[in-house]
Structure 1
């Protein structure tokens, strides 16, 4: 292995990092809840347009420093899209071939971005097969399988070093409530929630971490039951978060609360947020927003004052053919109107209510019904 090539590769990534500025922390006013301030950390402004840019950079540095990534080697990843886009960016920077193994229903916009950065897309029909197929492709090409689902929680220094948690708290220093009452994130690999949860504890903050989980993801059930064998044969329909199995990087012990969010609520949430801030975001951001508003209403009901920080994970322009397409929603059986009405009531009255939701929707939103099936 050429040590000089590895050192130059690390320097290229570090120089790219130095050319980048931090992402914005956007304040969202909640007039009916004046004692609660909501902030959204806009991760869609990274060079590759998503929160996963941080993860991809960390994974490449981790692989280089471990001696796994070498000159000329093929990089292979199992990804539903955004991680693959970011990894394709860094692979091109280092002159390495990149292959993304992903579900066939991944949004066309993400596929186009991966190909824009020189990556190849290898599709599977069953989302649960991406892991095995990625390993097979890596072995076939004598390449390196990045395996974000195993290494996400350890590739990032959770104690600081300008990680996303440290960035949040630094940006909040001058706010009215500088130490957030809640931080709300989704989980795909679990790396972001692990980093934030560990940082909160390491720094001794009173902040609590809430992870929002979409339909058909097993994380919520694992959080409560600790059964690591639980699986589901279907994808979550929320690209980037929710998994059909318990991922090695998902660290339940650093999470204070989980909320299961119906997919229709996620789609309603991202559209509602667009009307508030004037920007389109993806469905994982809608999931975050929906959970954050629920927590804001609960704080208001208890007479609490404080701040909530959540994430905008990627831009909505990647989903114009799907989540922002009414025909797609109808074809997939999603009715977002009840959730848009729920969010409207919450923002206008400061109350969280299931009024207008049918019984099955309300039950789903209360997150008491497991959706996974034993392996």
Structure 2
């Protein structure tokens, strides 16, 4: 009996990855109504809703590209175990896509990973095991496990940017500009995203340069993260050694996928401001009539409103696109829980007052940001 050539399995696996996401791509581009002070239509804001991916996060797009790249490279074959080091959205997406391909998947997770995330990994067909080392060493622990099992380590910090560049089409930037083609401002003034692995900002920045668009790229960065000081100082290996409290974005050190040269502006955002903006988005009183977004989207909204205010002051017309990275559901007992927020020493109230004043008058004060 003839044995199937490994190239045939690889081609079929990549086809299945593409087919799996075809019905959810492109992810929606939703208008975000601005307060009445901006209602003239001179400035329009859109939300690129990456929570529409099958696992509810923009990390799904990155992980799909990483699987496709590793399969094309021969690093993942039909019986290769896949190992990741994360207790977040990458693990959930990795579990789902590995299950789709009939591959074993294990996430080595930090000790304080929420039980909701562990349950989601299991529901998607994956396994998890707690890391036995401090959180900063979980990556190396997972890499060693992959070596022992003869598996593939899914290094989202080291490989995501390269994978999206090689196997990530259609990219998020391709989709944004396609969706804006019939809008009043088909070339937006700004695109706003956070920085986690650096893959999304690198993808958008490259697209802008490749196509000669006048759009500028802004990245938002939470407290404790190394990206803003690295961008501002030009120090490529800047490190803070402190973890981010905003899931999915911010890192204690700059990661390999971070390309500061393609970013026009990095906006540092206080964590309490991110929480205030998150609540504003999720509230029926918010400008979108309620948008179930995660905390990183709160960070992006705060930076977006800062840019909108700058455009208004300068008399600039145009569009702004902010990237919504994930949904609110995983954060009901953390960032959306007032008790948890207090336990972190965060006070969103002053920033909520800023947002209320902005909604009422269009006035944006930036002294805290």
Given the alignment of the two structures, is residue 331 of structure 1 paired with residue 343 of structure 2, yes or no?
A: yes
Give the match for residue 129 of structure 1. 137
Give the match for residue 219 of structure 1. 227
Using the size of structure 2 for normalisation, the TM-score is 0.92
Given the alignment of the two structures, is residue 274 of structure 1 paired with residue 282 of structure 2, yes or no?
A: yes
Give the match for residue 19 of structure 1. 23
Q: More deviation in 3-12 or 86-95?
A: 3-12
Q: More deviation in 196-205 or 277-286?
A: 277-286
Given the alignment of the two structures, is residue 28 of structure 1 paired with residue 39 of structure 2, yes or no?
A: no
Contact 2:87 2:118 in 1 (8 A): no
Which sections of structure 2, spanning at least 5 residues, go unmatched?
A: none
How much does 1:160 deviate? 8.6
Aligned counterpart for 1:286 among listed residues 285, 298, 304: 298
Aligned counterpart for 2:319 among listed residues 276, 286, 307: 307
Give the match for residue 104 of structure 1. 111
Contact 1:107 1:319 in 2 (8 A): no
Give CA deviations for 1:305-352 in whole Å, capped at 9, x if unaligned.
111001111110111110111110111111111111111222322222
Q: More deviation in 120-129 or 284-293?
A: 120-129
Give CA deviations for 1:272-328 in whole Å, capped at 9, x if unaligned.
012333232110111111100111011111111111001111110111110111110
Which sections of structure 1, spanning at least 5 residues, go unmatched?
A: 356-361, 366-375
What are the equivalent positions in structure 2 for 1:290-369 lying under 5 Å apart? Answer: 290-354=302-366, 362=368, 365=369
Given the alignment of the two structures, is residue 149 of structure 1 paired with residue 157 of structure 2, yes or no?
A: yes
Q: More deviation in 271-280 or 116-125?
A: 116-125
Mapped partners of 1:160, 1:238: distance in 2: 25
Task: Give the paired residue count.
Answer: 357
Give the match for residue 193 of structure 2. 185
Mapped partners of 2:281, 2:333: distance in 1: 19
Aligned counterpart for 2:80 among listed residues 68, 73, 82: 73
Give the match for residue 147 of structure 2. 139
For the residue of structure 1 that corresponds to 2:119, the secondary structure is helix
Give CA deviations for 1:204-255 in whole Å, capped at 9, x if unaligned.
1000000000111101111122323332332101111111111001111100
Mapped partners of 1:266, 1:209: distance in 2: 19
| Aligned-residue RMSD, C-alpha | 1.8
How much does 1:106 deviate? 3.1
Mapped partners of 1:127, 1:53: distance in 2: 22
Mapped partners of 2:135, 2:179: distance in 1: 37
Give CA deviations for 1:52-74 in whole Å, capped at 9, x if unaligned.
11111100000000000012211
Using the size of structure 1 for normalisation, the TM-score is 0.91
Q: Aligned in 2, Cα 1:160/1:200: closer, same or farther, shift over 3 Å? A: farther
Mapped partners of 2:141, 2:167: distance in 1: 34
Give the match for residue 57 of structure 1. 64
How much does 1:158 deviate? 7.7
How much does 1:26 deviate? 0.9
Give CA deviations for 1:149-198 in whole Å, capped at 9, x if unaligned.
11211212489942100100111111111111000000100000000000
Aligned counterpart for 1:260 among listed residues 257, 262, 268: 268
Mapped partners of 1:338, 1:245: distance in 2: 29
Aligned counterpart for 1:4 among listed residues 3, 8, 31: 8
For the residue of structure 2 that corresponds to 1:269, the secondary structure is helix
Q: Aligned in 2, Cα 1:167/1:142: closer, same or farther, shift over 3 Å? A: same
Q: Aligned in 2, Cα 1:159/1:105: closer, same or farther, shift over 3 Å? A: closer
